[in-house]
Amino acid sequence: MVPRVPQLKPVHMAAMDIALDRLVLDRVEELRTSGQLLGFAFTSDSSPPSSGRYTGLSFLITIVYFLTFPDVSTWDDERFRSAWPLFREGHLCDMLNCPNKTGDEVILLLDKQFASKGLHRSEAVSGVGDGGGENEGTYRGIHSILERENPTYVRRRCMAHLSWREADQAIAQITAEAASLGLPLDRGYQNFEGTQRKLFNL
């Protein structure tokens, strides 16, 4: 018989979330103190929830990643013969409501999400986002702000969003060209219809 897993109440889930945040904070501080934390990367995007009870909200979902490296003296170990001597950690940040999709507003929310893991925006070395203006804005976009904070910051584009944006542009172009391609067909049909009327005195 499979034991029944008790369902967690919201208060229990909140307590667990706080405990996990504390665990990650201590982990990050330990890595920073030992010189193993060289920076972090993140991926982030906001999206309105599908449930009607959250109508009007837009949740900013962010995951932070960082690499840790074992001591150099262990790099010749058997376990690293077929793998890189590094370990990647990923942590989901608290979801926040994102009421405004401008870069300078979203970066403040990212600051809160980073801080909950003991991280600061100046330590971000890479970020992944879609092609929206809040990310790609020339001066007030998230990437531009972080590039000014850290000159070695690298902006990246989500591959799924890249194909989506490309498709958007292609559809817009195809729509314009399809309309012009359809004109000869439409005129041909009108000419054929006119010829029929003349032949049959309609």
Instruction: Give tens-digit pLDDT for 129-174.
Output: 776 666 666 678 788 888 888 888 888 776 555 555 666 667 676 6
Closest CA to 106 of 55, 161, 146: 146
List, in sequence order, every residue forming a beta bridge with 188; answer none if it has no partner.
Answer: none
| Apex 86 CA angle, 80 and 89, nearest 5 | 135
Q: What are phi and psi of 40, to 5 degrees?
A: -145, 160
Q: Give the model's pLDDT for residue 111.
A: 93
Predicted confidence at residue 199, as pLDDT, reads 47
Supply the pTM of this predicted model.
0.68
- The reply to whether 5 falls in a domain is no
Domain span holding position 180: 162-202
In a domain, 190, yes or no: yes
Which has the minimum average pLDDT: 1-15, 16-30, 66-80? 1-15
- Under the banding of pLDDT at 50, 70 and 90, the label for residue 70 is confident
CATH code (residue 144): 3.30.420.40
Structurally, how many domains does the chain consist of? Answer: 2
Cα-flanking dihedrals φ and ψ of residue 69, to 5°?
-120, 130
CB 142 within 8 A of CB 129: yes
Separation between Cα atoms, residue 106 and residue 94, nearest integer Å: 14
Q: Do residue 152 and residue 168 come from a single domain?
A: no
Task: Kindly state the tokens that stand for 171.
Answer: 């559809």
- pLDDT on residue 40: 92
Between 27 and 196, residue with greater pLDDT: 27
Tens digit of pLDDT for each residue in 72-121?
888 899 988 888 888 888 998 888 888 887 778 888 999 999 999 999 99
Coil/strand/helix, residue 187: helix
4 in a structural domain: no
- Same domain? For 143 and 170 the reply is no
pLDDT of residue 180: 58
> What pLDDT is recorded for position 189?
46
The answer to whether 137 touches 166, Cβ cutoff 8 Å, is no
In terms of domains, do 75 and 49 share one?
yes
Q: How confident is the model at residue 64 (pLDDT cuts 50, 70, 90)?
A: very high
Shared domain for 137 and 198, answered yes or no, is no
Using the 8-state DSSP alphabet, how is residue 37 labeled?
Answer: -
Strands 124-129 and 154-157: parallel
Residue 192 has pLDDT above 60, yes or no: no
For residues 129 and 69, state if they share a domain.
yes
Question: What's the mean pLDDT when you consider all of the chain?
Answer: 77
What is the predicted pLDDT for the residue at 186? 47
Same domain, 175 and 120: no
Instruction: Indicate whether 1 belongs to any domain.
Output: no
Are the CB atoms for 129 and 157 separated by under 8 Å? yes
The angle, 0 to 180 degrees and rounded to 10, between the axes of the packed helices 142-149 and 103-115 is 60
